Structure formats: structure tokens, C-alpha cells
Structure 1
Amino acid sequence: MARKAASAPIDPSEVEETIVDVDVATEMEGSFLEYAYSVIYSRALPDARDGMKPVQRRILYQMADMGLRPDRAHVKSARVVGEVMGKLHPHGDSAIYDALVRLAQPFSLRLPLVDGHGNFGSLDDGPAAARYTEARPAASSLAMTTGLDEDVVDFVPNYDNKLTQPEVLPAAIPNLLVNGASGIAVGMATNMAPHNLVEVVGAARHLLQNPDATLDDLMRFVPGPDLPSGGKIVGLDGVRDAYRTGRGTFRTRATAKIESITPRRKGIVVTELPYLVGPEKIKEKIKEGVQNKKLSGISDFSDLTDRTHGMRLVIEVKNGFNPEAVLEQLYRYTPLEDSFGINNVALVEGQPRTLGLRELVQVWVDHRVDVVRRRSEFRLAKRKDRLHLVEGLLLAIVDIDEVIQVIRSSDDAATARTRLETVFDLSEAQATYILDLQLRRLTKFSRIELEKEQAELLEEIARLEEILGDPAVLKAVVAGEMDDVARAYGTPRRTILLDSAGGSVGSAAGAARAKASAVPLEVPDSPCHALLSVTGLLARTSDADELVREGRRAAHDAVRAAVTTTARGEVGLLTSAGRVLRLSVLDLPALPPTDGPPSLSGGVPLSEIVSLDKDESPITLVSLSDDAAPLAIGTRLGVVKRVAPGDVPRGDEWDVIRLKDGDVVVGAAPADDVDEVAFVTSDANILHYAAELVRPQGRTAAGMAGVKLAAGAEVVAFGVVEASVRDLARVVTIAGSAGALPGTQSGSAKVTPYELYPSKGRATGGVRAQRFVRGEDALIGAWVGQGPPRAVGSGGQPLDLPADDDRRDGSGTPLGSTVAGIG
């Protein structure tokens, strides 16, 4: 009967209906706005403070909450995804795993935050399923999450209000600039390029100490993006536009060089690709270009990439075709040259904004100042609470017999606590702590430990109060932590920045310029100069007068060495290992004639012409002519040598000096008998004397004593001053701290006329060239040569040097940027 009653039909008259009329347009508008709001703020756009989208932030926080560490074992990626999905992220597992994979890919992020174990995909293939891969936090992720337990950021409820999660991470790393970001929201999108951590930290420290710093000031530290895959950035106008307005476009170009594939055939070897471009995409476009006749002269394509040698794509060129012309076609018609559009959109105080470089750095600097301030307040409160308990315990130990008597004569714990507060004038917290005291803490040794802890707490409290009371001290702490991060996780720049390299991809004007600049089959053997720039670019002038034209200065970079030669001639490259490598001038790109200042950015990186050993660096270019002046060489341990002219073997490389263990060449230049050689040492001494005091020797000789070095000192610069331009010669010295990380300090510079320093005999100690001030103990850079000297940064950008100083032993003028070299 009950079953029949339950299944009986319901009388419609007994049901009350409620129907609400809703305008469809209004409902659609409201629903769409809610959806757009959710996508913009909870999914697609990163926060400008930590540079993370919500899913990325939740992954790092949950991994830290799970106890995963870089020095512990990996766990299944599916476990991390499940924890994040179940506790923090109200979306599917595929979205979480995709974000986890990107955090672990070294070709996607400049500084990966997850250490992946297994197949995490490539530029052409996706990753394995989450059940097959394993993950743990990378060492750099600790800098993103350290301090979460010290109230440095606000916590907000998760999606079901049962747990909490950080609103933003402490982010000791400027993640948004270092790793970039990409995302598509509703009505807006973001696409940010990765940068070099050391450069961004340098800009942040400068902005922290100089709040009125301009964009040009910051670009001395951050000249351009630094992509994970390396390659080149061609054309910096778009980068500057992006740094100024938040939007801009630049071109990325693969790193390629011409090599002999077989004894009778040459090919193009690609070792670095544009950002996010995979080998399969290159292969597909080359095949398509050959089929539709856009590309010619290509006979084969091989992908020889492996874990040992890294990226290596070999494009074989048919006989009879110029490899340089084929490479130019590949740049025009394949993704070997690609464009990257910057659109710096991020959330600032909950609102999406388009930010330039200065705004991006400022947001992170303000966030770090707030994090350190909140952390200091938290630690100060903890130290004061602990000091309060320690002081109460010390009072109890002094009169412990009476304390025990009070406790024993009390009926219960509450009465004992109240009596302790009254008798010994203690607080409730102190009395409770004494009641919980273990008898073993009553020893004499425990009292000594408590007194020591009391002194340490008082010292820490004073330091924390100083940080919170003085903004300058707070900034110093923030700057110090920035330096620690750069030192721990910073790596050298991978991407080469070039001002220009021909016309635009796909444009009619660019095609015309490419056709006009095509390398001919026969290059005339006309006079020219072979050039080596300060940043390691090789080039040749298009005519002999280009370099020596009166009043000309390079618009980009500075010349380290110039050798007069011919277009089909040969020159030598002297390295710090004391060997000379033979170079064909024809392999060096010719700088186009121009009415304005020539730009050395059209040169080719040294690594594309020759292969140097580890820790080996270029010193200068030398002439291989028999009638050239003897080559004067100076080493770090103070040895000098003049190599007799005409002693040139037939091989591709040879030694010109026999170096002792630990010694390297620091400078070299041609020197006739009437010229002078000069040494500058790390303890700020300069010694110069006539070159005729150094007799020419053969290639196998080890040289002779050139300068007397003090204990712990070494030679930092060696140069030759020609007798005809002695009055134009200048000495540049840059002082700093010998213990600082190279490239992180600017130092103080001094420019002095060379004639102010008296000449002395060979192998003597010289005279002082600069006086050290507080914080300086060594020369971190020096240069001697024909003035005016020109300093450049790591990206080739010009840097200002102080005016001439007639004080022979004066102190330097602080620099605003780190000097990479002088020419």
C-alpha cells in the first residue's frame, strides 16, 4: 500500500508554480560579465607582484605544503595535481597539469620553478600523462615561497571556504620579468618576454636606491629580453617601445653558422632557435619552401640534436650556391627568424594594467619592501614574546625554592598560577610557562643558556626595530636579499642583442635590401679593417677609410682591436690562453657604409666563427703580415713579451707565448721600439716604460719579467701607447670590492691623462693610479690606450665615464652601471 501511495500521480492543482520573467539580453550580459571577470582575475592574467597566475601559485604553495623539497625525492605528478585540485583549484586536472608542465620546461621559462622527472614534452611534442611523470620543487621555487609562515602576505579562503591559500607569494625572484607570461582573457591578453635575473635584479636595486630613475637608467641594466633558447634579438626599437608603453614587437633570429659538412660541401648549422620555435616546424617550412620554389640551394636537412651536444640542425647546401645567400633566404621564408609581440598586461591591485619596464620593476620592489617589513614585524613580535618568557623563567630560577613552595602549597594549577603572578609580579603567560617547566631546566647550565638566549634576543630585537624604524636600513635589507637571489640563481645572458640586421621579414623594402646586400660569388680583395668589439663581435669595414674617418664613433658597442688588411686576407685572433687562431676576413660580415656613426651591432658573435675552450676569452686581433710591428703581450702574473714579426706557421692555430700554470694573457698590441708598454695592477699601480727594453723573442719563448707585483696582486690591464699619440693616451681605472660577484657592482671610475704618470724601469713596481675609498680594495677594471675611451655595458650600450682627472692619485667617481669593457 505504501509503495502504491508513493508511486501515485501528483495532482497539478496541488503544486504552486513560480515563474519569473527575465530579459534575455540582461541575463546574457550579466552572465557574460561574471564569466569575463572570473577569467581575467582567476585564470588568465598574472599578478604583477609574483608574476603568477592563480593555478601556478596554487601549485607552488601546495607542493610546499606537502613537504616537497628540492633535496627530497620526486613524487608522481598526478599526486600533486590531485592535491591542488581537491584543495585549492576548482578546475579540471588537465589545466593543472598543463600549468605544472610549463613550470618545469627549461625552453619555456628562463628560470624553471619545478624540477620534472620524466617526459615533460618538447617544442614539438606534448608531455607524458601525469601518472607517468614525477615532480618536485626546483631550488628557485624556495625563493618564491619562503616566509609564508611569517605573515608576509595575506591569506584568503579557498573555493569551499574550508582552507586558506596565499593571495600572492612572497616572490624573492622577479618572476614576471624573468619568466614572462602568456594568457588570453576576455577582451584582453598578455604576452611577456623572459629576461635575465641578474640584469633585472640590478635594475631593481637601482630603482630601490634611486626612486626617480628614468627608463634609460633602467635599460642600462636591462638592455633587452633574455630568451631561454638563446638566439638573437634583431632590432631594439620595438624593445624600447615595449619598455616605455608596455607594447612593442621585436624579431628573434636563430643562431646559425657556416660549417664544412663534408670536405667538398658546406652547410648551415643552427645551434639556437627563436623562442618557442621547434625543429619540426623549421623542417616543415623548409620542405614547403623548397617545393614551392621559394628556397633554393638546399639538398638535405638533418636534426642531430642530442643531450650531449644540445641543439644542432644541419641544412646542407648544394655545390655552386653561396651559403650566406641561402641563410638569408631561410631567415626570410622560415621561422628561423620570427617576431615576438610584447603586451605587458598584469593585475595591479586587482585591476588589469598595461605596464612598462619601470612600472613592472617598481611593483616588484614595492612588494619586496612590504614583505620584508611584515616579516620583520612578525619576527619582532615573536622575539618579544620569547624574551618575556625567558625573563620570567630567569626570575623563577633565581628564587626557585620559593617558587616550588608556592606551587606545592597551592590547591590546584589555577591557584598556583594566580599566586605566582602575585608573589613574583609575573604575567599570566610567564606564570603558565613556569608551571610547565621541567625540573631538568633548573640546573646551573640551563641558567647560563637562558642568559645567553636573553642577550641574543635583545640583540635581534634591536636589529629588527632598527629595520622597522629606518627606511634606509629596510631598503638595505631588501637590496641584500636581492643580491643573494641573483648570486644563487643568476646565469649569464643567452640572447644576443643586435641593433639591426637588414630589412623586415616579408616586406618589399626588406626583400629589396636583402637582394642588394646579397653576398657575391667573388668578393673583391679591397683594403678594409678587421674589427673586434668589446662585447665579442667580429666585423670588417667595407672600405679602408671607414674606421679612420675623422670624428667617427660607433653608435653601438666599442672597438677593442682593429687590424688593417684586405677583404680576402687573413688575421689572427689572440686568446687569453696565449694562442693565435687564424681567421679569414671574408668570414666576417661587412659593415654597410653609412653617413652617420657606424654600428658594430652588425657584427657576428665570436662564437660563430671560432670555438674557444672553457675559461678562454678573446684578447685582440693581430696582423699576420711579415712587416708588422712586434706583438707586445702582457700576462696576469706580470710577464711581458714581444713576439718577433714574421714568425707565423702554416697551421690554423699556434702558441705565441709559453704560459706558467695559472697565468693568462690580459692584453696585447703591436709595439715598435719607440712605443711604450703599460701595466695596471689590481692594487691600483701603473707601470710603463719603453718597448725597446723588451727584446723580441720567438713564439716558444716564455717572455720576461714585466712588472713587480705585491703579494696577492695581479695585472688587470696591459696596453701599448704609440709614441705619435702619447699626448692623447688615457688611463681608465675602475675600483670596487674584490669579493663581489662579477657584474653586480658598478664601482667608481677615474680617467687620467697618461702623461701624468712617470716612466720607470722594467720589472719595477710603478706608481699609484687611484686611491681606494671605503668599500673598495681592488681594481675591478682598467684600460690604457689612445683616447677618448668609451665604456659599454653587457648589451653593447654606451656608458658614461667621468671627465679627465688631473689628480694622479685621486679617488674615482661612482658609476651608474656596470662596465663590461672599454674600447
Structure 2
Amino acid sequence: MTPADRTPPDEIAERIEDVDVAAEMQGSYLEYAYSVIYARALPDARDGLKPVQRRILYMMSEMGLRPDRGHVKSARVTGEVMGKLHPHGDGAIYDALVRMAQDFTLRVPLVDGHGNFGSLDDGPAAARYTEARLAAVALEMVADIDEDTVDFQPNYDSSQQEPAVLPAAIPNLLVNGASGIAVGMATNMAPHNLIEVVGAAKHLLENPDASLDELMAYVPGPDLPGGGTIVGLAGIREAYETGRGTFRTRAKVRVEQLTARKSGLVITELPYLIGPEKVIEKIKDGVNSKKLQGIADVTDLSDRQHGLRLVVGIKTGFNPDAVLEQIYKFTPLEDGFAINNVALVEGGPQTLGLHDLLRVYLDHRIDVVTRRSRFRLARRQERLHLVEGLLVAILDIDEVIQLIRTSDDSAEASGRLQQVFDLSQVQAEYILELRLRRLTKFSRIELETEQAELQREIAELEAILASPARIRAVVAEELDDVAERFGTPRRTLLTEAKASIASVGAKKSATFAGPALEIADAPAIVYLSTTGRAVRVDLAEGAPAPAVAPRRSKHDAVISALATTSRAEIGAVTNRGRLIRFSPVDLPVVPVNSIHLAAGARIAEYVGGLGKGERVLGIVSLAADAEPIALGTAQGVVKRVAPGGWPNRPDFELIALKQGDEVMGVAHAAADRELVFAASDAQLLHFAASAVRPQGAAAGGMAGINLGQGARAIGFFVLDPADENVVVTVSVPAGTLPGADPGRGKISAFSEFPAKGRATGGVRAHAFLKGDGVLALAWAGPKPPRAVGSDGSARQLPDTLSKRDASGTPLDSVVSAVGTAVGAERLALPAVTSAPLSGDGDDTLF
């Protein structure tokens, strides 16, 4: 093109308008705000859906993606919705689809997803990898939509129609909640339990003026998909009354004994929309920054079979409850939820309380049922009109056929039918289209049956439409049906307990101000049962020792008791003569007024490191001012070990044993105590502890009892002469297998046994009858003695005392061990002087 061919500039049509920038910006912003509020971010209070969610459910219904059919690619659903109803991008559509399929987001998911639809910590796979179809409950959202129950409106290009709202047979807004950010406003609604919401809705149907307290009797609070605990209900009531309020949610946590020496926090439910990886990350950050103390490790043991299971290990010497309170403060294990019930009502955003939310939904359902009833009535009336015309034609079918055959065309035939048989045009046209197969006798019977059924249904529908009470009854009946089919028990626990100190102030202090983290070093008593279970009893300062328990229970026979402090270092002495250091700080604690040794930890697992056949015989103090430790062996050796100067090792030998020898008993023994040996040949020897000079740990001891040929010591005991002591003996036939024969037992007063010098043979403690030849068990200690079986259950001993050389009476069951009763010992509680434990090292995690 040459310059001459160009159009002069002054001939170009121009349209330039001068506008005010402020006015243009205001108008554009208002249009944008209107679009966001009404077409994107806020749900409709009637069906609880945003436009994109409504379009997804409607389009999936139109595509036939029912629960009884196969899944289809999510990308196909996204494409259909975007192309026909929602031209805002596939990303927004797929995100909404995914949310409706997540059971941790919605209380009642509306989409049945197949594939990776994400988790609390990870996003979903792409739409081309996942598949979807409607969930069964979603059919209730679109049920009867083709019966003129809701209004339809043109889509974005007016090429087809879409529903302005869904019929929504379930109260979706309250059940599944909603969240969205519009312009100048936002909504954040918590999920609720379907059964509870239906109960409140039915009550409001019957009592339109019901108070908030009456409704909250049915809906006490939110029911979150992941369970957890809601602490404090004041904010919930405020939200139900005004539409706005806050509450705090906590994870569901319990303290468990992970091993004999290690306790932990087991987390099985988390606050709403909080994932386990986020919790673990926050715990790590808190430990590394020194905000969290007492945490040894965090392990995620979650799986599909058992669900969520996070295990937080607690360091030695820390109070699990205090550590949990600390975790609540600094991690998302306790989280807040701000309720802001903003939804669209009659085209405008409103903040709604519980009463208003239920009322708007019920008004919608009443309107749906009314419109559906009118639609069904009209359709049945139309059908009845046709059926009545067919019956007229069948009665005079020959005349009808003759009339049609003599007509020139269908229009003439229609007119003559109307004139001759007094039919309407619709009836006449229907008869003309009738197939000959319908003219049989059976067709007439079917038509008469159909006529009667239609008349009954019409009368029923007219009665419903004529009575508002009947309409409300239908709404209530349908609500009952969905609650029965889709309702589930409540998952979230509601409690009036106060929230943690995390919510007290806006600014969180880095210094923990809650309960004491470390277990206090207070006076305590450690008990060891004859079956190897150990417990700790914490005593208040100046409190007396526990009284003798009046009743029997499993494992209640005490073999060793030690007055100490909760964080002191003490020792467990084994039959191999080895002392193992440990602290009772992590032993199970039982109340002083209700001591149950069955709740104790297995001492072999608690101290650890025991060899094959090695067992713990007693517990002793390692304090420098403690009484000497007395030991007696199977070969009759006795030793008193001087306190203090212990080797700086976790375990060491307390006596040098000879080949084949083992320790039979251990206890602290001051100089005024009596040392007692019992031998298998029924000889018993006791002598003063002062006869045995204290030795060092490396020494081998000295002669204690002079044993007869083939005999061995079966028990060694330390007695306080001030106590009322007794001796228990049980004899069995020689060669009897252990536990095979209960044998004969007796109880004798210890005062009947004269004292003898150390290294002598003692006196007879039991007379053997013919067939008896060995003493299977012997025990000496304060009254009352406690006998137990191998499983720790109580065994009966003779009620009366016998002479020391009596033969005893037959026992009902095998006695495996005898010990003292709780509180029968004399214990002097020490002052709290031990250095506090420092845990397992620094607080750096991973």
C-alpha cells in the first residue's frame, strides 16, 4: 500500500470519552466486590453451597455419575463444569471438587473420590490422575430437582439453564460448614453432627418460637471430622446466639507407658485441619529453641489400619501431664476456631445464629416440598385425565375404530372423537396414538388399577397442600430418613474445661509458666512385689507411711520396700549378687490410700540388662548414711556390705559368689537386726546382725549357716526384733516337681525359735511326715504374711499359729511365694537431699 492509499487521520472514526477516575474505580470495584460476594466466596444459606460447588454437584448429576456407577476422571468433570457452567478456570473447580471429597474437611463428604485426594499435610494429585463420582448423600442434595422444586437461571452465556439453589434434603451448611473470603467480609462455619442438626430442625418445626437453650439441647456444639476435644463452650453459645464466636480445640491425647522405664504421649486425634507433619515440625522447632522441655523423641506410627497415632516420648524425670500442657501452648495440638456465620439470604449477605440458620433451611425445605407436591399433583392429574379417556375408548373400542377408519385425516378423527365421546383434545390425540396391543382385556384392568392409584395419590397430595402442618410433617419425615441413613455418632468431645495458658494472653512467653515440668524430689516409698512388680508411692512432707491394706488383691505380697525420694538413685540387687543402679522417678505412681501392686512395672524390664535366669531380689538405698546391706546365699554365706564408696558404674558386684552359689535374700540390716537363714532340710537359724562385720563390695562374705548333707539355704531374711514376726514353712514330698503338689504349710511365731550362733545348724522349723522330705518354701517377717501363686493371685495360709516343729496342715493350692503386706514394714522417710536428675541430656531433638 502506498501512502496515497492510506486514509487520512481526520477521517478515522474516533470515540473518546472523558470519565472521572475516582468514579470509574469505584464502579469497577463495586462490580468486582459484587461478583466475589454473590458468585464465588459466600454460600447460600439454603443449600450451604457456593456457586462452584453447586455447579459441580448438578453437572455430576446430569452426567449420571451416581454411586452405583463407575468413577470417571476428575478432569472430565472439571471440563464439563468449566465449559457449561463455571468459566473461572479448572484450578478453582478442581480445588472445590477435592474439598467435597475429603473426609477430614467435610463432616459428610459429598463426592466419592478415587485416588490421591490429598491429606492434611499434602495436596491432591492432578485432576488427570484422580477419579470421582457422587457420594450417596449427594443424591439427597439434588433429589427431585427435575420436579420444579427450585428455580433455574441462564448460565454465563445463556446457552442452557442451571439451578439457582439445590433442593438440599440435608442441612448441608450446618453439617459441613463453610469457609471463604469475599470483599470486606468472610465466612467461617464449623461442621456439625447430622443427627443433632436434624433433631434441632425438627424441634424448630414443631416449636417455631424455640429458645436457643432448647436448640442447644440438640446441638451442643460443633462436631469436627477429625474428632478432638473442644474446651470451653461459652464461645460456642455466643456464636449460636449472634453468629460470631470463638472456641478452642485440642488433640485427643493419653499418657501411656511405652516401656517399663519410659512413658509417652499418644496422640490419636488432632484439631480441625491440623496435620501430623505440622505438629511434628512445631515440636521439633520448640525443642531445638528450648521452648519445649522433657521431650525425647516424636514418632509417627499412623497407618490405614489403626489411623492416626503420634507418639511423643518423655524424658526421664519429667511429668507427662506438664509436658503435655507445654505442648498445648507452643504447638497446634491446641488451636482456635473463629466462627463467623455469614451466608447469602434472599440474595444478600447476613450473619446468622443457630436459630436463623435452621429457620432459613426449613423455609427452603417447606418451599421445596410445596413445589414438588404441586408438580406431582399436576402430573398425576394430567395422567388421570389420559387414563380416563383411554377407559372410555376401550369400552366402545369398535365404534372408536370405525370412527377413525371413516375419517379422512387425523384432525377430522380427533374432532369426531371429541364430539362423539365427549373427550378433550388431549385425550383424543392420545387415543389416536394408542397402539393396538393396549386394547387387550389385561390393559383395561391395568388402566382401572392405575386410575384408582392416581385418585388416591391426588387426594393425598391435595391434603398435603391444603395443610401447612402436613407439609411440615413431610419435611420432618424426610429429615429423619436422611439422619437414619447418613448420620454417624459424635466424634468431638465437648468439655467445659479451661483452655491452656496459651489462650490466656495474646503474647506467648518463652518461659513455661504452667505445672512443674520435672517430677519433684519428694519423699516416697518404693515397693517390690514377690512377682517382680514395682510401684512408687509419693508421700506429702511429714505424712505417715501407708497403713496395712485390709483386703487382698493380685501381686500384693511385698518382698522389698524402701523409703527414699522420687528422684534418688537406688539399687536393685539380683540373685547373681549384682547391684544395678536406677531411679524410681519413672515408676508407676499409686495413691497412698489405695496401693495396688498389680499396677506396677516389671522390675526386670525397668532396670534392664538382666542375664538369663537372673532376677531381682530386693531394692536398697545407695545413700552414704544408709544402713549396711545384708545378703545370704544358697550355700549359707552371709555378708553385710558397708554403705558408701560405691563404684562409679551403672552396675557392680555386691558379693563375690562361689561357683554354683546364688543370693537368696537381701535387705538393709542395722546392728540390732536379726539375720535369718532357712534351709531345705527344715533347719532355721537366726543370729544378731552385729555378728557379721561390714565388708567391702569385693569381699566374699563369711559362714552364715552350717548346712546339712545335700541341703541348701532357701531363704534369707532380715527382721526387726520389735516387730511381731512369724515364720511360714511349706513342705512337699521329696522329688516333687515345683507347683505339682500344694504340700503342707504352717505359721509359727518367730519367738519360738531360739537364737544360735553364726555358722551353726539352727533348730528344726518343720516336722516332715512320712512321704515328706523337703522344705519347698520358708519365709520370716512381720505379720500378716501374704501368700501368692505364680500368677500373683492370693493364696490361703492356715489361720492359727502352730508349734515350730509341727508338720502343718494340707494347703488348698500351691503357694509360690510369701511376702509382707503393704505398710507392715517399719520405714524412716529420709530428707530430700538427692540432686535432681537432669533428664537424658540436652533438649536438642533429632
Bin for the TM-score computed over the shorter chain: 0.5 to 0.7
* Shift of residue 9, structure 1, vs aligned partner: 3.2
Amino acid at match of 1:254: A
5 Å matches for 1:166-315? 166-315=163-312
Q: Equivalents in 1 of 2:386, 2:792: separation in Å?
A: 77
* Shift of residue 262, structure 1, vs aligned partner: 2.3
What is residue 804 of structure 1 aligned with on the other side?
Answer: none
What is residue 137 of structure 2 aligned with on the other side?
Answer: 140
Alpha carbons of structure 1 residues 415 and 5: separation in structure 2 relative to 1, 3 Å = farther
Are the counterparts in 2 of residues 232 and 255 from structure 1 also a CA contact under 8 Å? Answer: yes
Amino acid at match of 1:515: G
Amino acid at match of 2:396: D
Q: Equivalents in 2 of 1:135, 1:470: separation in Å?
A: 42
Q: Equivalents in 1 of 2:385, 2:277: separation in Å?
A: 67
What is residue 152 of structure 1 aligned with on the other side?
Answer: 149
Are the counterparts in 1 of residues 255 and 264 from structure 2 also a CA contact under 8 Å? Answer: yes
5 Å matches for 1:465-614? 465-501=462-498, 503-507=500-504, 515=514, 521=520, 524=539, 567-568=591-592
5 Å matches for 1:30-69? 30-69=27-66
Q: Equivalents in 2 of 1:464, 1:257: separation in Å?
A: 56
What is residue 325 of structure 1 aligned with on the other side?
Answer: 322
| Deviation sequence 1:207-228 (CA, Å, 0-9, x none) | 0011010100000000000000
How many residue pairs get aligned? The number is 546
The DSSP-based 3-state class of the residue aligned with 1:126 is coil
Match of 1:86 among 83, 98, 101: 83
Alpha carbons of structure 1 residues 102 and 400: separation in structure 2 relative to 1, 3 Å = same
* Shift of residue 263, structure 1, vs aligned partner: 2.6
The DSSP-based 3-state class of the residue aligned with 1:492 is coil
The DSSP-based 3-state class of the residue aligned with 1:271 is strand
What is residue 358 of structure 1 aligned with on the other side?
Answer: 355
What is residue 704 of structure 1 aligned with on the other side?
Answer: none
The DSSP-based 3-state class of the residue aligned with 1:18 is coil
| Deviation sequence 1:422-445 (CA, Å, 0-9, x none) | 000000010011001111111111
User: Does 2:9 align with 1:12?
Assistant: yes
Alpha carbons of structure 1 residues 296 and 484: separation in structure 2 relative to 1, 3 Å = same
* Shift of residue 518, structure 1, vs aligned partner: 7.1
Alpha carbons of structure 1 residues 582 and 215: separation in structure 2 relative to 1, 3 Å = farther
Amino acid at match of 1:124: D
Amino acid at match of 1:86: G
* Shift of residue 519, structure 1, vs aligned partner: 9.0
Are the counterparts in 2 of residues 304 and 312 from structure 1 also a CA contact under 8 Å? Answer: yes
What is residue 73 of structure 2 aligned with on the other side?
Answer: 76
User: Does 2:433 align with 1:436?
Assistant: yes
* Shift of residue 14, structure 1, vs aligned partner: 1.6
Q: Equivalents in 2 of 1:166, 1:245: separation in Å?
A: 30
Match of 1:405 among 395, 402, 405: 402
Are the counterparts in 2 of residues 503 and 513 from structure 1 also a CA contact under 8 Å? Answer: no
Amino acid at match of 1:450: L
Are the counterparts in 2 of residues 328 and 514 from structure 1 also a CA contact under 8 Å? Answer: no
Q: Equivalents in 2 of 1:568, 1:169: separation in Å?
A: 64
What is residue 730 of structure 1 aligned with on the other side?
Answer: none
Alpha carbons of structure 1 residues 470 and 227: separation in structure 2 relative to 1, 3 Å = same
Q: Equivalents in 2 of 1:648, 1:328: separation in Å?
A: 41
Alpha carbons of structure 1 residues 524 and 457: separation in structure 2 relative to 1, 3 Å = farther
Alpha carbons of structure 1 residues 366 and 409: separation in structure 2 relative to 1, 3 Å = same
Deviates more, 1:319-328 or 1:197-206: 319-328
Are the counterparts in 1 of residues 322 and 516 from structure 2 also a CA contact under 8 Å? Answer: no
| Deviation sequence 1:410-461 (CA, Å, 0-9, x none) | 0000100000000000000100110011111111111000000000000100
| C-alpha RMSD of matched pairs (Å) | 2.8
Are the counterparts in 1 of residues 232 and 499 from structure 2 also a CA contact under 8 Å? Answer: no
| Deviation sequence 1:296-334 (CA, Å, 0-9, x none) | 011111111111110011111111111111111001111
Q: Equivalents in 1 of 2:468, 2:518: separation in Å?
A: 60
| Deviation sequence 1:660-717 (CA, Å, 0-9, x none) | xxxxxxxxxxxxxxxxxxxxxxxxxxxxxxxxxxxxxxxxxxxxxxxxxxxxxxxxxx
Deviates more, 1:501-510 or 1:188-197: 501-510
The DSSP-based 3-state class of the residue aligned with 1:115 is strand
| Deviation sequence 1:765-800 (CA, Å, 0-9, x none) | xxxxxxxxxxxxxxxxxxxxxxxxxxxxxxxxxxxx
The DSSP-based 3-state class of the residue aligned with 1:274 is coil
What is residue 776 of structure 2 aligned with on the other side?
Answer: none
Are the counterparts in 2 of residues 502 and 514 from structure 1 also a CA contact under 8 Å? Answer: no
Q: Equivalents in 1 of 2:455, 2:472: separation in Å?
A: 22
Are the counterparts in 1 of residues 241 and 354 from structure 2 also a CA contact under 8 Å? Answer: yes
Greater gyration radius: 2
Q: Equivalents in 1 of 2:229, 2:270: separation in Å?
A: 9
Are the counterparts in 1 of residues 235 and 247 from structure 2 also a CA contact under 8 Å? Answer: yes
The DSSP-based 3-state class of the residue aligned with 1:262 is coil
Are the counterparts in 2 of residues 383 and 461 from structure 1 also a CA contact under 8 Å? Answer: yes
* Shift of residue 283, structure 1, vs aligned partner: 1.2
What is residue 595 of structure 1 aligned with on the other side?
Answer: none
* Shift of residue 10, structure 1, vs aligned partner: 3.0
Alpha carbons of structure 1 residues 81 and 25: separation in structure 2 relative to 1, 3 Å = same
Are the counterparts in 1 of residues 325 and 500 from structure 2 also a CA contact under 8 Å? Answer: no
The DSSP-based 3-state class of the residue aligned with 2:514 is helix
User: Does 2:377 align with 1:380?
Assistant: yes
What is residue 761 of structure 1 aligned with on the other side?
Answer: none
Match of 1:335 among 332, 344, 348: 332
Q: Equivalents in 2 of 1:135, 1:100: separation in Å?
A: 9
Q: Equivalents in 2 of 1:232, 1:9: separation in Å?
A: 79
User: What is the TM-score normalised by the length of structure 1?
Assistant: 0.64
Q: Equivalents in 1 of 2:390, 2:235: separation in Å?
A: 66
Q: Equivalents in 2 of 1:32, 1:225: separation in Å?
A: 36
Amino acid at match of 1:455: A
Are the counterparts in 1 of residues 179 and 186 from structure 2 also a CA contact under 8 Å? Answer: yes
Q: Equivalents in 2 of 1:650, 1:254: separation in Å?
A: 41
User: Does 2:113 align with 1:116?
Assistant: yes
Alpha carbons of structure 1 residues 301 and 211: separation in structure 2 relative to 1, 3 Å = same
Are the counterparts in 2 of residues 502 and 513 from structure 1 also a CA contact under 8 Å? Answer: no
Q: Equivalents in 1 of 2:141, 2:37: separation in Å?
A: 23
What is residue 460 of structure 1 aligned with on the other side?
Answer: 457
Amino acid at match of 2:146: D
Deviates more, 1:361-370 or 1:10-19: 10-19
Are the counterparts in 1 of residues 153 and 164 from structure 2 also a CA contact under 8 Å? Answer: yes
Are the counterparts in 1 of residues 317 and 519 from structure 2 also a CA contact under 8 Å? Answer: no
* Shift of residue 504, structure 1, vs aligned partner: 4.0
Alpha carbons of structure 1 residues 22 and 433: separation in structure 2 relative to 1, 3 Å = same
Are the counterparts in 1 of residues 240 and 353 from structure 2 also a CA contact under 8 Å? Answer: yes
- Identity, % of aligned positions: 67
Q: Equivalents in 1 of 2:793, 2:391: separation in Å?
A: 77
Q: Equivalents in 1 of 2:49, 2:790: separation in Å?
A: 58
Amino acid at match of 2:260: P
* Shift of residue 260, structure 1, vs aligned partner: 2.0
Match of 1:367 among 361, 364, 370: 364
* Shift of residue 8, structure 1, vs aligned partner: 4.4
Q: Equivalents in 2 of 1:62, 1:582: separation in Å?
A: 63
What is residue 127 of structure 1 aligned with on the other side?
Answer: 124
Are the counterparts in 1 of residues 501 and 514 from structure 2 also a CA contact under 8 Å? Answer: no
The DSSP-based 3-state class of the residue aligned with 2:335 is strand
RCO higher in structure (CA 8 A, sep ≥6) = 2
